[in-house]
Structure 1
Amino acid sequence: MGGTVAAVSSNSTYSFTKPNRDSITLIAGLGVEGDVHAGVTVKHRSRVQRDPSQPNLRQVHFIHEELFEEVRAAGFEVASGELGENVTTRGIDLLGLPKGTRLRLGDEAVVEVTGLRNPCAQIDGFQKGLLKQVVGRDGDGSVRFKAGIMSVVVAGGVVRPGDPVAVELPDGPHLPLEIV
């Protein structure tokens, strides 16, 4: 079970979007080298205001490229990095992964999935009406967050577009992802 890296992105300054790169380097326990959200403790501004000592469970943000196709059908144009993700994947049901799943990226890098991204109003600032596209409802009416998943870096390494992504499910009961 796996897929591929479609794009990688990072930004050293606070900005909603992140420019695509030829490669990014993941650093164990910190995140993406040079990215504004890298660190042991939280870096997201609203979380820092609440409690700057919280552990950073959002070191690397992933979005599945298939989401861009879905929102395109609704009239929105979104490209890799434009929703602030670090890694855009293809061929993996990221939202269906259980908490604790490990993703092997390329030859060395490994991340552990911590939870779902909490889509914020900045998404509508990027394109009006887009937030409604990335927060949907399941058949039973439950809210479904589709703006990607968050992870922490277990093993560092360089990640490039075209790298394989191997999925390693955790042992024991599979816990569904929640907002982190």
Structure 2
Amino acid sequence: MSGEVIGVHVSDRHAFSKQAADVITLLEGLGVEGDAHCGVTVQHRSRVRFNPAQPNLRQVHLIHAELFDHLAGRGFDVRPGDLGENITTRGLDLLDLPVGARLTIGDAVVTVTGLRNPCVQIDRFAPGLLKEVVHHDDDGRTVRLTGVMGVVSRSGTVRPGDDIVVELPSGRHYRLDKV
């Protein structure tokens, strides 16, 4: 399994969207250098209010560009960085990865921890978008399409054009859930 980075993004503010960059630096155990969500403990405001001491399992946010293609077909103009991801990918089914999958991206490694759980801010960005990115499957399970979250397992830099190589965890694989 492999894919490619088509965009990298960062924001030093707790804003919904992130700005495109030529390169981002991932810091082991912390996240994206200069990003508002970088830290050992959780940095997302709603989670900080709940428990500021919980570990940051959302250091890096990755979204597959194929989601933007799908949304365009549904009438939404969503571009890389708009939904707050740090890394936009193409050619890799992020949502099908198991917990613990290791992604070598550039010279960095990100370990996948779970799914991004989208919130109402998505509807503030584009009314009706939340219904497009969260729905229920035929078995009644909630399906979240807004990418995956991970932790930085090895520091390094990531640029558009970098390859992404997947290493699956050994043993039993566990389906991603929201983090």
Normalising by structure 1, report the TM-score: 0.98
| Deviations 1:136-159, CA, capped at 9 Å, x for gaps | 232333210001100000001110
Letter aligned with residue 35 of structure 2: D
Q: Output aligned runs, 1:87-126, within 5 Å.
A: 87-106=87-106, 108-126=107-125
Q: Which residue of 2 aligns with 1:23?
A: 23
In structure 1, the gaps of 5 or more residues are none
Letter aligned with residue 97 of structure 2: L
Matched, 1:83 2:80: no
Deviation of residue 14 (structure 1)?
Answer: 1.2
Tell me the secondary structure at the aligned position of residue 113 of structure 1: strand
Q: Output aligned runs, 1:12-161, within 5 Å.
A: 12-106=12-106, 108-161=107-160
Letter aligned with residue 98 of structure 1: P
Tell me the secondary structure at the aligned position of residue 95 of structure 2: helix
Q: In 1, Cα distance between the equivalents of 2:10 and 2:23?
A: 9
| Deviations 1:65-115, CA, capped at 9 Å, x for gaps | 000011111100000000000000000100000000000001x20010000
Identity of aligned residues (%): 58
| Deviations 1:115-152, CA, capped at 9 Å, x for gaps | 00000000000000000111023233321000110000
Tell me the secondary structure at the aligned position of residue 29 of structure 1: coil
Q: In 2, Cα distance between the equivalents of 1:142 and 1:73?
A: 24
Q: In 2, Cα distance between the equivalents of 1:146 and 1:123?
A: 12
Aligned length: 179
Letter aligned with residue 43 of structure 1: Q
